[in-house]
């Protein structure tokens, strides 16, 4: 028994339409997977950069400069001030990069809120605020507005003695 040519045509068109739908579904899954991988790579890059910067700033050569620079100590030498300025530039570039990644849709809410919380902590330091005022013209208008608005909303904090607080917390754990 042979099928009329017209029926064969309709069957082949139906099969072709199903193949197109299946291809579109597969492509959509691949795009979603690619987006997840891209976001993971962006997050990994941010984490690597932050960890590396922290390790560099913890070095014996820079730790004191970072501490004095953040607090706004006037005891920095010219050479130390230059080092402090470069440390700040590294931080400002990182802030700009994260801000631009968010704008491009590469940073999700959780990562962006974490970034904002850390940035607010850093920008409460008077020495960093002063350094931003010196360097802010080097950055894009939107980045500048983002950081300036953060600084405006956040009062400058007096430097805290994190070491003493850490010791107090250790002592509290020992007594419980």
Give how many domains the chain has, as a whole number. Answer: 1
Instruction: Supply the range of the domain harboring residue 128.
Output: 46-158
Decide if 149 is inside a domain. Answer: yes
* Mean pLDDT in order along the chain per 10 residues (176 residues): 76 88 90 84 82 85 92 93 95 93 89 90 91 95 93 77 85 85
User: Can you tell me the distance from the alpha carbon of 157 to that of 153, in angstroms, rounded to the nearest whole number?
Assistant: 12
Decide if 10 is inside a domain. Answer: no
Decide if 117 is inside a domain. Answer: yes
The predicted structure's pLDDT at residue 4: 81
- Average pLDDT of the chain? 88
Decide if 3 is inside a domain. Answer: no
Decide if 91 is inside a domain. Answer: yes
Phi–psi pair at 72, nearest 5 degrees: 80, 25
pTM of the model: 0.74
Phi–psi pair at 10, nearest 5 degrees: -65, -40
Decide if 70 is inside a domain. Answer: yes
Decide if 164 is inside a domain. Answer: no
For 125, counting Cβ atoms within 10 Å of its Cβ (0-12 exposed, 13-18 middle, 19+ buried), the class is buried
DSSP conformation letters of 44-92: HHHHHHHHHHHHHHTSTTTHHHHHHHHHT-TT--HHHHHHHHHHHHHHH
Decide if 23 is inside a domain. Answer: no
């Amino acid at each position: 028994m042979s099928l009329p040519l017209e029926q064969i045509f309709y069957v082949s068109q139906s099969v072709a339409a199903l193949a197109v739908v299946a291809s579109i579904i597969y492509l959509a899954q691949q795009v979603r997977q690619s987006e997840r991988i891209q976001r993971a790579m962006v997050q990994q890059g941010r984490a690597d950069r932050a960890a590396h910067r922290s390790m560099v700033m913890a070095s014996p050569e820079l730790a004191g400069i970072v501490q004095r620079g953040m607090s706004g100590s006037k005891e920095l030498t010219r050479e130390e001030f230059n080092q402090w300025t470069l440390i700040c530039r590294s931080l400002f570039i990182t802030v700009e990069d994260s801000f631009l990644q968010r704008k491009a849709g590469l940073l999700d809410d959780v990562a962006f809120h974490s970034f904002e919380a850390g940035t607010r902590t850093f920008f409460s330091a008077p020495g960093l605020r002063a350094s931003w005022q010196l360097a802010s013209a080097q950055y894009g208008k939107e980045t500048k507005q983002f950081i300036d608005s953060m600084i405006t909303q956040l009062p400058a904090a007096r430097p805290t003695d994190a070491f003493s607080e850490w010791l107090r917390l250790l002592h509290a754990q020992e007594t419980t």
